Amino acid sequence: MKRYTPILAGLLLAATATLSAQAQTKLPPRRPVQPRAKAAAPVGVTMKDGFLMKEGKVMMTRDAHTEALTSETALVNGTKVMPDGTVTLANGTTAMLKEGDYMSLTGRMTTKAMKAEQDSLLQLAKNGGKVKMKKKVK
């Protein structure tokens, strides 16, 4: 037993000396790296691909390019959109786009009232279900 104690102490001393020697080695400085370029969104308001009634004109956006609709356009589901804002659905019914109404390229229509309702529900969920109301001034 007396023989193992000095050997064990010697091994522990050698292990700590090795670890301390490794901890004191200096790493080479890091090379500077160029930051990656980020995709920048175009300046101004952008909208999803689809049709939007704006200032009495039907605006069509495809691949981030927005322009006024000049001719009748047929969608994937059979819906047709006219430049005056008339929409003929696949089942034959017609509807008129009003100011702020949006129709996706798949034929789903979202009215301005629906957007306002979604925004108010989102705000309500964000506030934890609490409604913020202004106090009445007497």
- The pair of structure tokens assigned to 136 is 């009445």
Residue with tokens 């704006």: 54
What is the spatial order of strands in the sheet that 86-88 belongs to? 73-74, 80-81, 86-88, 94-96
Separation of alpha carbons 123 and 127, rounded Å:
6
The one-letter amino acid code at 12 reads L
pLDDT value of position 108 = 87
Task: Quote the pLDDT of residue 2.
Answer: 67
pTM: 0.53
pLDDT in tens, the chain (138 residues): 567 787 877 777 777 766 555 556 777 888 887 777 765 555 555 568 899 999 889 999 988 889 999 999 999 889 999 999 999 988 999 999 999 899 988 888 888 888 888 777 777 777 766 666 666 666
